[in-house]
Amino acid sequence: MNPLLLWPDPPSPDVVRVLDLAGVPWSAAGDEAAARAGSWSGAVVVADDDPDAAFAMARTLRRSDLAVAPLLLVVRGTHVADLADRHDVFDDFCVSPFHPTELEARVRHLLAREPGLELGPEVIHYDGLVLNVETYQAAIDERPLDLTYMEYELLKFLAMNPGRVYTREVLLSQVWGYEYYGGARTVDVHVRRLRAKLGEEHAALIQTVRSVGYKFGESRWGT
């Protein structure tokens, strides 16, 4: 599958994160020359900082000799009105700040139209760990993990955000929900159970950050 073209270069880290987690290949192109140098499955143009330059780039990409399609524009809410006369330069748009789920859904939808481009089910990969979000199945080094629901949800939450440090309170409210009456120790208990199930050689995937909380793996985007 050809990569998605991302503009500007360097690309928005938030967009990159969504694409990486979704397993969509991408490459940044800052100008027309860079765009001409590659073959693209589509483009995501982020108009956050410089809408005029972004619209100009979109128009360039859509010129018949380049014809990069489909094209997704990411615009601030205050610039949505600017799209009114520019329907010919994009196929879809997404209002920023966007929710990762929305951006991912739009990218999938756009790419699904492309013949020969098929994305598998939503899968999170990290080292030997594979989490299939649709079937709720997790495996490490191809060995299935027998997780309880909460263990699965906690692992999924952590693995979606590698390298980020979460406090117990945040994990409790994000994974268990506010209505859960158990204390923050619940998180420790589940982390310990997850480590036990991941097995010795992978237990270190979930690291304890002393007097803060936990983090999973290392960030793939630098910190």
Q: HSE (CB half, 13 Å, CA atoms) of 168? A: 15
For another protein, the closer CB: 80 or 189: 189
> Using the rule CB under 8 A, is 173 a contact of another protein?
no
For another protein, the closer CB: 55 or 152: 152
Residue of 71, 41, 37 whose CA lies nearest to 57: 71
> Using the rule CB under 8 A, is 197 a contact of another protein?
yes
Tokens of 192: 């310990």
Tokens of 95: 């209002």
Provide the minimum distance between the beta carbon of 169 and another protein in the complex, in angstroms, as a whole number: 7
Residues 1, 80, 189, 212: which binds another protein (CB under 8 A)?
Answer: 189
Put the strands of the sheet holding 165-167 in their side by side order: 165-167, 213-216, 206-209
Provide the minimum distance between the beta carbon of 167 and another protein in the complex, in angstroms, as a whole number: 9
| Binding residues among 137-166 for another protein as defined by CB under 8 A | 137, 144, 146, 148-152
Provide the minimum distance between the beta carbon of 69 and another protein in the complex, in angstroms, as a whole number: 36
> Using the rule CB under 8 A, is 135 a contact of another protein?
yes
Provide the minimum distance between the beta carbon of 136 and another protein in the complex, in angstroms, as a whole number: 5
Provide the minimum distance between the beta carbon of 155 and another protein in the complex, in angstroms, as a whole number: 12
- Please tell me the distance from the alpha carbon of residue 209 to that of residue 204, in angstroms, as a whole number: 12
> Using the rule CB under 8 A, is 182 a contact of another protein?
yes
**Contact positions toward another protein, by CB under 8 A?**
135-137, 144, 146, 148-152, 168-169, 176-177, 179-186, 189, 192-193, 195-197
